[in-house]
């Protein structure tokens, strides 16, 4: 997804449109917890202005991530849009520091959208996903159960009570420490 400025300037009167499908499966090696990624569909247009090129992007695809509870694969479709601005001149009119985050520099007279697309895809990955089956998982088993915070406080009091009661096998040892006082 690279174009030269001269190639884009040929279409100065009308937007330069594109519609591509990109295989970004290599991101599974670089992004934690990303199991699979479908081919990414990228559509948009580029408009050449006096001192800048404005690129409108629409990116869609499907990320496959592990469920946070069951670790089963969950497919998460996404569709995002973005407007990216490339500066044609090194000393453009825009000196606004807040606006600098939204602007990109040209690399050898070329516009390269691939790093921007990679970043936008990675930003679509949520911290956690849950499968529909994760609601049906067991909350108790043989010798264990999941308890809530309010239940934990009440069991905390019972733990203190059991610590105060002395094991009958250690009763004689308790008398030994009482004699020292």
Q: Say which residue the tokens 């520099």 belong to.
A: 105
**pLDDT band of 74, cuts 50, 70, 90:** very high
| CB-based contact 53:111 (threshold 8 Å) | yes
**103 or 161: which leads in pLDDT:** 103
Beta-strand relationship, 36-37 and 2-4 = unpaired
pLDDT (tens digit per residue) in 12-71: 677 888 999 999 999 988 888 899 999 999 999 988 887 888 889 999 999 999 998 888
* pLDDT above 70 for 166: no
- Please give the pLDDT value at position 58: 96
- Please give the pLDDT value at position 157: 56
d(CA 59, CA 40): 7
CA distances 53 to 14, 57, 115, Å, are 12, 13, 17
**125 or 91: which leads in pLDDT:** 125
- Please give the pLDDT value at position 100: 53
- Please give the pLDDT value at position 102: 66
Triad 30, 32, 35: Cα angle to 5°? 90
**pLDDT band of 110, cuts 50, 70, 90:** confident
- Please give the pLDDT value at position 1: 78
Rounded mean pLDDT, 108-120:
88
Beta-strand relationship, 36-37 and 52-66 = antiparallel
Sequence-separated (6 or more) residues with CB below 8 Å from residue 88: 5, 48, 50, 51, 52, 53, 106
Core vs surface per residue 51-68: b (16+ CB within 10 A) or e:
ebbebebebebebbbbbe
Average pLDDT, the chain: 80
- Please give the pLDDT value at position 63: 95
Rounded mean pLDDT, 120-127:
92
Percent of the chain with pLDDT over 70: 81
């Amino acid at each position: 997804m690279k174009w030269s400025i001269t190639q884009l300037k040929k279409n100065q009167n009308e937007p330069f449109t594109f519609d591509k499908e990109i295989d970004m499966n290599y991101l599974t090696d670089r992004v934690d917890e990303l199991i699979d990624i479908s081919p990414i569909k990228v559509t948009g247009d580029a408009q050449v202005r006096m001192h800048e090129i404005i690129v409108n992007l629409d990116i869609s695809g499907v990320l496959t991530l592990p469920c946070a509870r069951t670790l089963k694969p969950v497919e998460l479709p996404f569709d995002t849009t973005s407007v990216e601005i490339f500066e044609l001149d090194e000393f453009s009119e825009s000196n606004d520091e807040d606006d600098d985050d939204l602007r990109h520099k040209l690399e050898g007279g070329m516009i390269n959208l691939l790093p921007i697309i990679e970043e936008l895809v990675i930003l679509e990955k949520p911290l956690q996903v849950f499968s529909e089956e994760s609601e049906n998982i067991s909350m108790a088993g043989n010798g264990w159960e999941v308890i809530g915070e309010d239940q934990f406080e009440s069991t905390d009091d019972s733990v203190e009570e059991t610590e105060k009661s002395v094991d009958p096998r250690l009763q004689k040892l308790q008398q030994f420490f009482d004699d020292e006082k």
